[in-house]
Chain A
Amino acid sequence: MTPTVQTVKPDHILHELSELWVSLGKQEPDKDADSGVLRACAMTLIAFVDDDADSMALNDTIGRIMRSHPSRAVIVRLRESPGVLESRVFAQCWMPVGHHRQICCEQVELSVSLNRVGDIPSIVSPLTAPDVPRVVWFRSSGIASVPELGGIIALGDKMIVDTAHAGAPTFADLRVLANAGYIVGDLAWTRLSKLRQLIAQLLSGRDLSGIHNISIEFSGSEAVPEAKYLQAWLRSEIQSAMVDLRRVDPTGKARLKAIRVDPDIQIQVEANCAEYQTGSLRQWANLPECSEGDLLSEELNIMAHDRIFERVLQRMTAWTPQA
């Protein structure tokens, strides 16, 4: 007997979505004009995640994003076992504090075997919400190596990865995509925004061309992508400066430790904060560790080419640590 091949019909999912809204509306009868459910959709977020991904953490991230970027979310769970292709439809709803109307975003979850990833573009494409941006987020370690990657990338107007994660696309992959005109984002770069802003603030008003030496210190056996990005950014924007990466604690946890700008600026990076000194002024700045949802949210704010990031990508080179 030939085994039954599982199929998913986009029209069926769209019908389920439509019924979902009808049922949500019935749960909240419109007794007064201000109650009921508010449907919100500002984009389509297509997320590729590993099947064993921590569901609670993923839900936290999606929930966080839905509040800042209400979206139709299409979550594609990639499974090792062959032949699987399933779908389900549900809504994420929340009641904003002090309000009396629920806000709901729709979510489609597809479970797909890696050997059937080729079916994904034809299923997901009709599911994208019309007239709003589409973002593809790679949270899966396996996705970068599938042969159908090109069709998947083409589903979105922007692609977001996190090069700090094992198995993620590399800087070189991102550079190729950026050079081909794709809008790309990397959460490893996004993690640097607050620190970069602090550096920019501290160097504000200075003649940047007069800066000749900057060192970036890190711990761990290899520089984290953030350290490499910081180096590339400073090299790109202050071309007069030698920007060195220095390993100061090879056995410590891999992270950024400090930035020193000659002659008189030092920034010590700690968990959730930075202590900095400019001349005689010693200060403390809040640098809270960003959740995955915060980082993603920042990237979703930028739906155009990020020229600074693209410039930095071009500067990302093979790295050799200083002794």
Chain B
Amino acid sequence: MPREPSLQDPLRFNRKMPPCAAVIFGANGDLTKRKLLPALYRLAWEGRLAPGFAIVGISRTAMSDDEFREHMRESVTKYLEDSPFDEDLWKSFAQGIFYMAGDVADANIYQRLAACLKQVEQARQTAGNILFYLSTQPSQYAPIAEGIGAANLAKGDGWRRIIIEKPFGRDLTSARELNRRLQKVFQESEIYRIDHYLGKETVQNILAFRFGNGIFEPLWNRRYIDHVQITAAESIGVEGRGAYYQEAGALRDMVQNHLLQVMATVAMEPSAAFSADAVRDERSKLLRSIHVMKPEEVAANTVPGQYGPGRVGGEDIPGFRQEKGVNPESQAETYVAATFLVGNWRWAGVPFYIRTGKSLPKRVTEIAIHFRSAPLAVFRNELGEGNGDPGASTDYEAVPNLLILRIQPEEGISLKFNSKRPGAGMTLRPVSMDFNYGSSFGERSPSAYETLLLDAIAGDATLYTRQDMVEASWSVVQPILDYWSTRKFAFPNYTPGTWGPAEADEMLARRGHSWRRP
């Protein structure tokens, strides 16, 4: 059969991208400056965007196209990471950047936007494809979507997609309400809820590790895994985001979205195909399998924390309540530790410990899979415990195997196992077998925003969160929020530079476990 003529070369070319215009609401905001424009510029630098790719920025500040381009140029030069800034390329890229000043609450702006997009489509040959990016206050998501719908911009010749940033609601009820309003204008398949954690190379690598290798999956269950620890620690405090953090807290800011998504990636069943819906179906199923705590279970299985003032590395660190914009009596948590159980055959009885916090000793995100110990300690360890006599002391166990999936800062995978120490006798010592992402793949990893923006343009929603996943994770978090809202905690309860409140250690100790020191 004759071949269809094609110039594509999948072995060597980047993924083919359709032409489109990206409309950024909140174009003068921090996210646009720090993340979106640098990511889009980098994609242009790599030649990954279709010729004619256009950006229409919208915000309240009055500016001309040229002034906006100049602002964006400053941002790109300032925040571009690991990439050169090329003046000629910028000039070419900037020809496709346009700006409209206006209030998103004003219906007129959407009519003006429609006219602007028509011109852009003709000049830049964008084929009518439009990607809306809502980089605004979450309270504006629904009104903007409705404005887009009222101006008939949600339908047209090309495709339409809308990206929104977390938080997707403040609780289960508001998440459902937001979704109801979004879905009045857009189909679910057109709504891209961004969770930048899922765009990280190493989070994606969890899927490759689990489902691209035959040797781990048979061990990936309650029979071989004792427990799982997921840690997302920040060494810095809230640093100027006190007012936001006071409203959100660590549970909403980190656990409801990022960490439950990571947990779902670690624990989900293999999908039948690597397609957006197949993968998200499995993630969603896992999230819905997490045991929803009853009020009486919350106290035993969660620990909120808030850091007080302290001193780290010779520097005085203000406590959370001393941060600008924070109520001196604030009950917002800057730390959370929680024990989650998954009610399915694979994971029944295996605790998933999650902890996240500000002002912890170091910045690290990792998943530690603690395997069960060998059933019998027939060898001595370095402390001389264990003697090979099945009838002897039973209080010694061989050091269990540990698999660590490091997400940041040193991305990679380590497997700890026991090895014979050189010399006479059979004394075992734990050793580490390391895979370092940077050493095996020296190429620059794309930023999470580069990955996710490209995926949205290509129409691949695999790494985006679907509404049923959002609702499932709110269902898990809601009882904790409800219970905590009825309590008054003795905050602050941990010192900056420590691993959080002592109660978090006690929570694990009750199950015979202890936190790993990352």
By a beta-carbon cutoff of 8 Å, the part of chain A in contact with chain B is 33-34, 38, 40, 42, 66-70, 96, 98-99, 101, 103, 193-194, 196-205, 208-209, 237-240, 273, 276, 278-281, 283-287, 297-298, 302, 306, 308
Contacts and interface: CB of A to CB of B under 8 A. Distances in A.
A283 B439 contact: no
Contacts of A298: 12
Chain A's interface: helix, strand, loop or mixed, by majority? mixed
A202 B52 CA distance: 10
A302 B10 CA distance: 11
Contacts of B432: 33
Given A239-B5, A281-B124, A70 B89 contact: no
Given A208-B5, A281-B124, A286-B86, A103 B47 contact: no
A197 B438 contact: no
Contacts of B5: 208-209, 237-240
Given A101-B434, A278-B51, 9 more contacts: A40-B439, A40-B440, A70-B439, A98-B410, A198-B47, A201-B47, A279-B125, A283-B92, A306-B12
23 contacts: A67-B439, A67-B442, A68-B441, A196-B12, A196-B13, A197-B9, A197-B13, A200-B13, A201-B50, A201-B51, A203-B7, A204-B16, A205-B127, A239-B5, A240-B5, A279-B125, A281-B52, A283-B52, A284-B91, A285-B47, A286-B45, A287-B47, A306-B11
B6 A237 contact: yes
A226 B398 CA distance: 61
Given A199-B7, A302-B11, A204 B50 contact: yes
B64 interface: no
Contacts of B436: 38, 40, 96, 99, 101, 103
Contacts of B9: 193, 196-197, 200, 308
Which residue among B13, B14, B47, B441 has the maximum number of chain A CB atoms within 10 Å of its CB? Answer: B47
A68 B16 CA distance: 24
Contacts, number: 114
Interface in B5-53: 5-9, 11-14, 16-17, 44-47, 50-52
Interface of B: 5-9, 11-14, 16-17, 44-47, 50-52, 86, 88-89, 91-92, 95, 123-125, 127, 409-410, 432, 434, 436, 438-443
Contact of B443 (A68, A193, A202, A285): A68
Q: Which 4 A-B pairs have the closest CB atoms?
A: A67-B442, A284-B92, A200-B7, A208-B5
Nearest to A203: B7
B47 A194 contact: yes
A55 B92 CA distance: 39
Contacts of B47: 194, 197-198, 201, 285-287
Contacts of B51: 201-202, 276, 278, 281, 283, 285
Contact of A302 (B12, B14, B125, B438): B12
A262 to B, nearest CB: 16
A193 B442 contact: no
A197 B14 CA distance: 8
A135 to B, nearest CB: 16
Contacts of A287: 47
Contacts of B12: 193, 196-197, 298, 302, 306
A260 B50 CA distance: 19
B187 to A, nearest CB: 24
Contacts of A240: 5
A38 B432 CA distance: 11
B197 to A, nearest CB: 20
Contacts of A103: 436, 438-439
Given A197-B47, A276-B51, A38 B439 contact: yes
Contacts of B441: 68
Residue of A194, A201, A238, A276 contacting most chain B CB atoms (<10 Å):
A201
Contacts of A193: 9, 12-13
B7 A99 contact: no
Contacts of A209: 5
B227 to A, nearest CB: 21
A199 B52 CA distance: 14
Contact of B11 (A96, A238, A280, A308): A308
B190 to A, nearest CB: 22
A26 B424 CA distance: 21
Contacts of A101: 410, 434, 436
A238 B46 CA distance: 26
Contact of A96 (B7, B16, B46, B439): B439
A291 B13 CA distance: 18
A130 B389 CA distance: 39
A286 B89 contact: yes
A14 B441 CA distance: 26
A12 B244 CA distance: 65
Contacts of A286: 44-47, 86, 89
A66 B125 CA distance: 42
A26 to B, nearest CB: 14
A286 B231 CA distance: 40
A200 B440 CA distance: 30
A198 B439 CA distance: 30
Contacts of B92: 283-285
B4 to A, nearest CB: 9
Nearest to B4: A208
B517 to A, nearest CB: 10
A287 B47 CA distance: 8
Contacts of B13: 193, 196-197, 200
Nearest to A304: B11
A198 B17 CA distance: 12
A145 B243 CA distance: 74
Contacts of B125: 278-279, 281
Nearest to A241: B5
A47 B195 CA distance: 45
A239 to B, nearest CB: 7
A38 B440 CA distance: 11
A200 B432 CA distance: 46
Contacts of B16: 200-201, 204
Contacts of B434: 38, 101
Contacts of A306: 11-12
A273 B93 CA distance: 14
A208 B45 contact: no
A275 to B, nearest CB: 9
Nearest to A307: B11
A276 B92 CA distance: 11
